[in-house]
Amino acid sequence: MIKVISYSRYLLWPMVLLLSALAAGCGGGSEGQGPILGIGSNAGLAPTVTAVAPVNNATGVMLNDTIITAAFSEPLAPIMASGATFMVTCASPCVNPTGSVALDTTNSIATFTLTSGTTFAPLTLYTATVTGVRSLATGLAMASPYVWHFTTGVTLDTTRPRVTNTVPATTNPGPTTGVPTNMAITAVLSEEMALATINGTSFTLTGPGATAVAGTVSYAVGSRTATFTPATVLATGTTYTATIKGTGATPATDLAGNVLSGNQAPLPAASDYVWTFTTAASVLSANVSVLSTNPVAGVTGVCPNATINATFNVPSGLRIDPATVNSATFIVTGPALTPVTAASVVLDAATGQIATFTPLGALTPGVTYTATIIGGASGVKDLAIPANEIASNFIWSFTVGPTTGNCLQPVVLGSALSFGTFGGTAGMTNTGTQTVINGDIGTIATGTSSVAGFNDTAGDVYTETPANIGIVNGTIYTCTNSTTGPTSAGPNPVYCTDATQARLDAQTAYLALAAMPAGPDPGAGNLANLVLAPGVYTAASGSFMIQGGNLTLDAQGNANAVWVFQMATSLTVGGPGAAAPQSIILINGAQAKNVFWHVGSAATINAAGGGTMVGTIISQAGAAFSTVGNTTITTLNGRVLSLGASVTLVDTVINVPAP
């Protein structure tokens, strides 16, 4: 049979763990290994929050993402019966939303769901508060109310969620070979999913003859990872099929109810995501360890807004189990063991081997903090069956300094967050039949030809021909009529208002990038073949190019590292030569959502077609991807937002990063 479990199972209260570790002689304030904790009961446990959605201080939250989620370190007593509350409020004249509160099937993830038929107000700051929740096992209440904030944008979420990464990897036509028999199966989603829809019905594993494999299904809030853990090791030399449903009565959906876009039918249709693999030998049993940390042990001058990261060495070659990375296994304390409240403790989606502790508030300059990764049976483990553990606790310390210019934060995109491309005041044009925008597109241009070669999930079609079809897995926000569809009789005034707001927010972000203190130009204008650490980079001559090799961005284990590239004039990626596309490579936790390109004039991306561009490009005067006549797909993992001139795409796939 299939059981459904939450990602926060089998957890222990952080302070109990840490005090026990210190009592056992682990010590604090220096890097080292402590003995395995020997806590064998649940006595003395109280819940802590380990992840929330939307994340703390999120902006541009979709108006119909109406499920607010808080995940806890252990199962909770029924919320209403125990006197606990989960509220979402806003300041007057906004009216506080109404809704229902529920726990998932394991009582460890609480959701506040807006009343059916209602949405959030646009451009509004909301506050979510969880108070008085109690441990189901002990009855102990959480130490204090947990409060976080988020700000809405102006658009509705109409983008279908996608599977972006699987383990075992998805191959076409498949099956993927050489897969260990003793591992869990995982899938990373492009956005947060509705918990009730990730279960043993929507995520299945079958063997020969479509025989169901018994196992458990879990979903990790924050890491956006669904995991199927077989009840026993799989058979050797056998082909299995994993499926996440996008069809039928119980498909997987996002927080707005959009059904999964799988790999069994082209967009805009929903479909199942299916992949196959064939098993070989099992992975060996070997302890997981901490490979590196960011900040490193003993360092001073750490930014007050820093996140704390640990990169794991996993000899099995598997990912870390996201169910074991939480506020009970990754603990940060200040003086006198004062706990630092986490906004989230999550595993990175890209590698599955970097844990990030994001404090709910800024750290205090001059204070030394101690971070602890818990080992042993109650600590961090990999996805082997049975799981490999960290042998003992890993402890290190660092000291926070005053804020400096190196304390980079991602620029706030506001309501522009959901847009894969924005055509400023001039519009957008697509050529070819392979263009897909996984996100919204928009422009404030009003001409009838300002949007050409696109269709969206609402059924609007803008000047498509058999040779020029671009699929928008979202909504087209314009101030003009569509060729056919709901806005063909006249432009939707709300869409025009939303597009205008998105452009204003993009311009605000553009100015914020321009205002950042200038940085070095390490390649004299050409960033090819460089490996760059996080920071601000400024083109001395006014323009940047990536020609003659790829650019690598190294996060050095910090999954929240930020890069900003400033140029007064142009950005050119690709070349030299007509057949030399170039790419940007992300390593050691780097994320596309944290890369920004401030372009004073226009951007030209891989005119020859092909290659992978990364980050949010905000240009003053348009952008062009590939060139008419090329059929090799060019990929942008990010956004291209033009304030003025048009954006032109030729067989281009744009994947808007998850927040």
Looking at residue 155, its amino acid is: T
Contact yes or no for 615/395 (Cβ under 8 A): no
Distance set, CA 444 to CA 63, 92, 218, 499, 654 (Å): 21, 31, 43, 6, 20
Q: Which residue has the tokens 């600590």?
A: 379
Residues 500, 505, 510, 515, CA torsion sign: positive
Q: What is the pLDDT of residues 511-533, one digit of tens each?
A: 999 999 999 999 999 999 999 99
What percentage of the chain exceeds 90 in pLDDT? 84
Give residues with Cβ within 8 angstroms of 41, minimum separation 6: none
User: Could you tell me which of 582, 591, 525 has the C-alpha nearest to residue 553?
Assistant: 591
Domains of the chain: 33-152 (2.60.40.1220), 163-279 (2.60.40.1220), 289-399 (2.60.40.1220), 416-655 (no CATH)
pLDDT of residue 355: 97
pLDDT at 38: 29
Strand partners, 437: 472, 654
Tell me: pLDDT of 170 over 50.
yes
- Give the least confident one: 39-48, 191-200, 273-282, 650-659: 39-48
Whole-number Å distance between alpha carbons of 348 and 164: 13
Judge residue 649's burial from the number of C-beta atoms within 10 Å of its C-beta, 0-12 exposed, 13-18 middle, 19 or more buried.
buried
pLDDT (tens digit per residue) in 328-379? 999 999 999 999 999 999 999 989 999 999 999 999 999 999 999 999 999 9
Give me the pLDDT at residue 578, please: 64
Q: Would the pLDDT of 119 be above 70?
A: yes
- For residue 593, give the 3-state DSSP assignment: helix
- Is residue 102 classed exposed, middle or buried when 0-12, 13-18 and 19+ CB atoms within 10 A define those classes? middle
CA–CA separation, 378 and 382 (whole Å)? 12
pLDDT of residue 149: 97
Answer for the pair 649, 627: CB distance below 8 angstroms, yes or no.
no
Helix (H) or strand (E) holding 504: helix 493-514
Provide the pLDDT for residue 24: 37
Q: What is the pLDDT of residues 606-651, one digit of tens each?
A: 998 999 999 999 999 999 999 999 999 999 999 999 999 999 999 9
All residues at 6 or more sequence positions from 528 whose CB lies less than 8 Å from its CB, including other chains: 545, 546, 547, 548, 549, 550, 551, 582
CB 83, CB 361: distance < 8 Å: no
DSSP state for residue 580 in the 8-state scheme: -
| SS3 label, residue 208 | helix
As given in the structure block, the two tokens for residue 184 are 């869990």
Distance CA 190, CA 608 (A): 28
CB contact at 8 A, 457 and 158: yes
Q: Give the C-alpha separation, 157 to 415, whole Å.
A: 12
Q: Look-up: residue for tokens 């940047």?
A: 544
Is the pLDDT reported for residue 42 higher than 70? no
DSSP of 621-641? S-EEES-TT--SPEEEEEEEE
Q: What angle do CA 513, 497, 512 make, to 5 degrees?
A: 10
CA separation for the pair 631, 449 (Å, rounded): 23
What pLDDT does residue 8 have? 35
Q: What is the CA 376 to chain-centroid distance, rounded?
A: 28
Structure confidence by residue, pLDDT tens digits, 576-617: 876 789 999 999 999 999 999 999 999 999 998 999 999 999
Q: Is the dihedral of CA 423, 426, 431, 433 positive or negative?
A: positive
Tokens of 494: 């709300």
501 DSSP assignment? H
The answer to whether residue 429 scores a pLDDT higher than 70 is: yes
pTM score:
0.92
Q: What is the DSSP string of 145-161?
A: -EEEEEEE-S----PPP
Q: What is the mean pLDDT of the chain?
A: 91
**CB neighbours of 522 closer than 8 A, spacing ≥ 6?**
530, 532, 537
- DSSP conformation class of 244: E
**What tokens appear for 624 in the block?**
């062009």
Predicted confidence (pLDDT) per residue in 244-266, tens digit: 999 999 999 999 999 999 999 99
Identify the H or E element spanning 72.
Answer: strand 67-72
